A and B are shown apart, each in its own frame.
Chain A
Amino acid sequence: MSSARTVVIIAALTLREASRRRVLLALAVLTVALLGLSGWGFSRLAAESSEFSTLTSGEARLAASQLLNLVMFGFSLMAALGTAFLAGPTLSGETESGIALAVLARPVRRSAVLLGKWLGLVVFGSGFIVLAGLAQCVVVWATVDYWPPQPAVALALLAAQTTVLLTLAVLLSTAVSPMASGVVAVGLFGATWVAGVVGGAGASLDNEGLERVGTVSRVLLPTDGLWRGAMHAFQDPSPITASFAAAEAFPFLSMAPLTAGYLAWAALWVAMIWGLAVASFLRKDL
């Protein structure tokens, strides 16, 4: 039994679990609701707000960018919560209940089983965020005629953000209970986002100490950094947006695109956390 085969079998099983456990259905219902609400909101904005129609096109695109990023944040939160709470039950839940006993007594390597679970979750989380994000872009385009400058980059970064968080959730679920792993992963995700906002405020106030809070948190857990990169790719690239983002430290606008160095760090971070998860899972007595 080759390990590659095990990875594929377990990844497919994880995806099947997500659909059978109605996670897929729940996310689909939430997504449609959010898409509908935002579509309605955007269309009202364009039709009724006299301000919006009197805005210059640059200002209108700025407003659209902010709103798009706001809704995208909602989607990225759903993806984060969904995968983090899926990772817990699927890994530590199975070890607790005993389901893992029969599976791991088969001629399979634990690292292959873990990779399969991770891969299934990555496909699930990334697939969700890409589809929902794309649908949202279409809704915005249809209602206020705004199309983001780099939608592919933005969606890829959102998928990367989801991957980062679920890798952390996988590591946690090899060590702690299913519920704790989900709670800790989502808690850290929120804390990093808040630290990012604090860092942005620090930058606009020229307060180096505050700014460092954001920088350090973005290194420790790259979700917020990737999220800011995604926002930058969604938002209007005009100078007016950039100056607004810099002056107001608005949490749903980003000042700069991601650097290649940061992306490399995020990839290395995922590899390191994944390695820790394998080491922890290999040593675990079931």
Chain B
Amino acid sequence: MAADPTAVSGGAAAGAAADLIADLPPAPGVWCSGLRKRYGRRPAVEDVSLEVGRGEVVGLLGPNGAGKTTVIKMLLGLVQPDAGEVMLLGRSASDPAARARVGYLPELFRYQPWLSAAEVLALHVRLTGAGVPAREQLESLSLVGLRDRAGDRVGGFSKGMQQRLGLAVALVAQPELVILDEPTSALDPLGRADVRDIVLDLKGRGVAVLLNSHLIGEVERVCDRVVILDRGRLAASGSLAKLLGQREVRLHLTDVSAAAQARLAATGELERAGDWFTVALPADDDATTVPDLVGDLIAEGARVHAVEPTRISLEDRLLGILRAGHGGDR
């Protein structure tokens, strides 16, 4: 039997302890440490740790087969980890009650085809044990644009509609943590924009959101932080500002002497395409790097035609991280 999460035994000591706990900041939506999973001899996930705070949107990125969905399933107890620890909303995930306030949209979204959309929502509300009135349940359907189809059998829904229904299922029982696994894979551009708005709304209401998506643009727009997985391992993680903080400058140069080229290379990582040179700027750039570099290049006899500051996109950054990780075998 699951314990009642609100049950606190009597006594002054327990009361004092409860006050103490109430004063603490709320536990993160998800916290996991050292997750590991092997399928046979093939390691699927190796030593993955991550955290999603309340009101934070974290994107899970990585190529196919990186272990993103396996990590999500381990968080939800759908896949048993070989090692590691998971806490959901401050409770150990080994207790099913930890999932009481968790909404989940699986990558493989299928719902009982012989139930209507409204019945699927009612079933999930009952399974959660949350007393969500029917009117509010219908509001979840309105949110995903399925209000008019509430009474229709799910078996007749298109993939996009089933995914919208899945989103409503994830949101219906007043979740404090929402895990969305490829939530827009079957949606049209309008649906994707809806999902973006929904995620930002959840964030605004202090809900923790873990978003697994292939669409980097989508992640870039809504996520505060990203976690990049590659071949089951954590390849990089951090805030978007940190991951994208690195800037570059593109220069169109002619008459570049060996000394000028050495000066460019000394500034940062250098790429050359014809007369265009791209130099990565150091993270601690205090706005003197570019004017100093240009001054020195002119002094070395180079002719400067253009200087363009650029920002690295998340996509470039992701590809850079993944290519660096695969450097040994490519």
Interface of A with B (CB < 8 Å)? 1-6, 9, 13, 16-17, 20-21, 97-99, 101-109, 283, 285-286
Contact = CB atoms under 8 A, between A and B. Distances in A.
B80 A283 contact: yes
B216 to A, nearest CB: 25
A239 to B, nearest CB: 53
Given A13-B112, A101-B73, A106-B124, 13 more contacts: A1-B127, A2-B1, A97-B110, A98-B110, A99-B110, A101-B106, A101-B110, A102-B166, A103-B124, A104-B77, A105-B104, A107-B97, A108-B127
B96 A107 contact: yes
B1 A3 contact: yes
Top-3 shortest CB links A-B:
A98-B108, A1-B129, A20-B114
Given A107-B127, A107-B128, A17 B96 contact: no
Interface of B: 1-2, 73, 76-80, 96-100, 102, 104-106, 108-112, 114-115, 123-124, 126-129, 166, 169
B129 A102 contact: no
B2 A103 contact: no
B106 A2 contact: no
Contacts of B109: 98, 102
B38 to A, nearest CB: 11
B78 A101 contact: yes
Given A1-B128, A102-B124, A109 B96 contact: yes
B78 A6 contact: no
Given A9-B126, A102-B166, A109-B96, A286 B79 contact: yes
A286 B106 CA distance: 11
B123, B127, B128, B129: most-surrounded residue (chain A CB, <10 A) = B127
19 contacts: A1-B97, A1-B100, A3-B1, A5-B129, A9-B123, A98-B109, A101-B104, A101-B110, A102-B105, A102-B106, A102-B124, A102-B166, A104-B78, A105-B77, A107-B96, A107-B127, A108-B127, A109-B2, A109-B96
A3 B106 contact: no
Contacts of B111: 99, 102
Contact of A105 (B80, B102, B110): B102
Contacts of A21: 114
B127 A6 contact: yes
Nearest to B99: A107
A196 to B, nearest CB: 37
A17, A107, A286: most-surrounded residue (chain B CB, <10 A) = A107
A9, A102, A285: most-surrounded residue (chain B CB, <10 A) = A102
Contacts of A17: 112, 114
Nearest to A1: B129
A269 to B, nearest CB: 27
A101 B182 CA distance: 14
Given A5-B129, A283-B80, A107 B104 contact: no
B198 to A, nearest CB: 17
Contacts of B104: 101-102, 105
A13 B76 CA distance: 23
A5 B1 CA distance: 10
Contacts of A105: 76-78, 99, 102, 104, 106
B28 to A, nearest CB: 18
Contact of B80 (A9, A97, A103, A285): A285
A3 B2 contact: yes
B128 A285 contact: no
Contacts of B106: 98, 101-102, 105
A20 B112 CA distance: 11
Contacts of A20: 114-115
Nearest to B74: A285
A7 to B, nearest CB: 11
Contacts of B127: 1, 6, 9, 103, 106-108
A88 to B, nearest CB: 16
A17 B155 CA distance: 13
Contacts of B110: 97-99, 101
A1, A20, A98: most-surrounded residue (chain B CB, <10 A) = A1
B1 A101 contact: no
Nearest to B44: A285
